[in-house]
Chain A
């Protein structure tokens, strides 16, 4: 039985099909989750894909937060379920308070669509355990509001607790400060992705599903998606085992 990973579809989602394709390539059975339904169909993990949920009106992710599916996702996350937000999905998770911080307008005011290099700061999470330690991943960003912001105390706490999951890095592999071209949006402390305290909810601005095959220029994104699918499978297996035992 394959691992079932839900892909939430909001009005304005536009990476849901790509994400489902990449998840299937990672060995999962993708399951569409419609925004108006609070039924998560018993999935083993959930991905909030990129796009412009509800047109990104008001603020990116602000209106999506109140959809029936997101109320269910919040409960799913509180119960320990694995949730990954990609790009707009990350914005939705931040607006919903499931991840710390906020994603501001890019400092350049420009929509940025190009490959970036990110480093997984931890290789022991449900989302990164397949990434070779200290490995730099190449994948595209495509966003207008990706400038990670949190107040200094929150940033310090995130660093201290190892909750910065991905950082934008320059050619030398060093974190790229705001203003460096390797930091595409001006994110504070080069933050490209974060994880919650419990370790079951993560978000990142770059698109793993757009780096899912060498033909696309990189298949580094598969390391993230395979990590998620493996973790979901292990958890599902553990539950079945517990029931059987």
Chain B
């Protein structure tokens, strides 16, 4: 019996932003620089972080579960940040499994 599993590699971005209502000094600093550019009508600037990664998994749904756990445990501090997962598609098929 061949135990090999056909998996694919799925790419994601995790976009992390300060939670609504949390002071965002970086966003405020950017916002305060806008008048120097002569720009009007631009506001609500929030500065966050984008993390891109790839996950080997049997399917996209399983990959997303891994990304969600990673986002909650490490990439985002839920006390102060929120995140959104953005699927970037499967990039290649990879073979993996116990049989090697």
Contacts and interface: CB of A to CB of B under 8 A. Distances in A.
B77 A59 contact: yes
B50 to A, nearest CB: 12
A102 to B, nearest CB: 5
Interface string A145-167: 00101110000000000000000
B77 to A, nearest CB: 6
Interface stretch (B20-28, B38-46, B57-65, B82-90): B20-28
B74 A104 contact: no
Interface majority SS on A: helix, strand, loop or mixed? loop
Interface string A90-127: 00000100000110111111000000000000000000
Interface residues of B, number: 11
A58 interface: yes
A195 to B, nearest CB: 18
Interface in A20-74: 58-59, 62-63, 66
Interface majority SS on B: helix, strand, loop or mixed? mixed
Contact of B79 (A66, A101, A108, A109): A101
Interface in A138-191: 147, 149-151, 186
B8 interface: no
B51 to A, nearest CB: 8
Interface residues of A, number: 19
Contacts, number: 34
Nearest to B79: A102
Nearest to B47: A105
A210 to B, nearest CB: 25
A102 B77 CA distance: 9
Contacts of A106: 25
B29 A147 contact: no
Nearest to A59: B77
B97 to A, nearest CB: 27
Contacts of B22: 104, 149
Contact of A62 (B25, B26, B77): B77
A66 B25 contact: no
Contacts of B79: 101-102, 149-151
B80 A149 contact: yes
Contacts of A63: 74
- For the complex of A and B, 7 pairs with smallest distance between CB atoms: A102-B80, A102-B79, A109-B25, A105-B25, A107-B25, A109-B29, A102-B77
